Amino acid sequence: MKKLFDPIKDKSSEIIEWLMASPDMPSDDGLLFKIRLSIEEAVENVVRYAYETGNGWMEVSTDLNHDTFELTIELRDAGTPFNPLDRPDPDITLAAEDRPIGGLGIFLCKQLMDDIAYRYENGCNILTMKKNINID
């Protein structure tokens, strides 16, 4: 499934709910929690920071490989090029007040998803997150 949201300003909840309503999503509550949290973090980052004016578009998609039971979620935008995976992981051993602001969301995504990748292609940021949903 794929959908274009244009503009995205103030549409984080709508985008997240559309992705979570995908028939590609698993029925397992534990997996859904991990996937939803990752989607929320990634979508919020694009909506808040991708476009200098706050207005722009985002194309989102889900795809379930029925052979491998791997769910792929992709977010694509034409905002300022930014690879969130280039940031170092936060030092979670430090007290919250001693940590620099930022970076925890993408760290959570990397912990909760099985694979996360970024590429910049044809003027677009593309963030791809994958989760194995085979719960046998």
Domains of the chain plus CATH, in order, are 2-132 (3.30.565.10)
Over the stretch 60-79, which tens digit does the pLDDT of each residue have? 999 999 999 999 999 999 99
pTM: 0.88
Instruction: State the amino acid at position 14 in one-letter form.
Output: E
Going edge to edge, which strands form the sheet with 70-77? 2-5, 58-65, 70-77, 124-132, 115-121
Of the candidates 60, 61, 62, the residue with the CA atom closest to the CA atom of residue 26: 62
Over the stretch 78-93, which tens digit does the pLDDT of each residue have? 999 999 888 765 555 5
